[in-house]
Amino acid sequence: MDFPTIPDELLGQDLNYFVGRKNIFRIPSYTHYKQYEIDTKLKEFLSEIFKFDFHCSYQVITNGLDIHKDGSRTECLNYLIDTGGENSELRIYNDDKLEILHSERILNKKWHWINVGMNHNVVNISNTRISISIDPYKTTFKS
């Protein structure tokens, strides 16, 4: 999706940024996914781009992420800070999780929309994948 690039000075560039911060993911013991609040300056920048109410957070993902549907949302916009490796790819699956319906390698510093109400995961992660995820409260990105 063609939204502005986020300036590097507003981003958590590496894992050191998250040291000492509280994991706000609803299942904090899950090893392969962590979620962190973003800073006020980044939220202000994103509010200039997206003229609707939203929640946003950092996602930190490691290899081994289960195929899943998100529990509290059906869609989101993600911005990759670090893809997690050159071979990492987002996959969307059918309901029985056996057939890959879509597979895509997404580049760093790019926005992408995902229907997280469908089964999905990220595979072939060789280092940690870091992104910003935007969840609309009352708006939908696509219909």
Between 99 and 71, the more confident residue is 99
The answer to whether 139 touches 52, Cβ cutoff 8 Å, is yes
Extended strands (E) in 44-110: 54-61, 76-82, 89-93, 100-104
The residue with tokens 């670090």 is 82
Which pLDDT does position 29 carry in this prediction? 87
Which pLDDT does position 36 carry in this prediction? 95
- pLDDT tens digits along 124-140: 999 999 999 999 886 55
Which element (helix H / strand E) includes 45? Answer: helix 40-49
Which pLDDT does position 92 carry in this prediction? 98
DSSP state of 68: B
Cα distances (angstroms) measured from residue 60 to each of 20, 110, 123: 14, 16, 14
Cα–Cα nearest to 36, from 14, 60, 15, 53:
60
Confidence of residue 143 (pLDDT cuts 50, 70, 90): very low
Distance between CA atoms of 84 and 126, rounded to whole angstroms?
A: 6
Helix (H, G, I), strand (E, B) or coil at 66: coil
111-114 sheet: strands from edge to edge:
33-37, 54-61, 129-136, 76-82, 111-114
The residue with tokens 């529990």 is 71
- pLDDT tens digits along 25-49: 988 888 999 999 999 999 999 999 9
Which pLDDT does position 1 carry in this prediction? 73
Q: At residue 108, what are phi and psi to the nearest 5 degrees?
A: -60, 150
Which pLDDT does position 46 carry in this prediction? 97
Residue 115: both structure tokens together? 């229907």
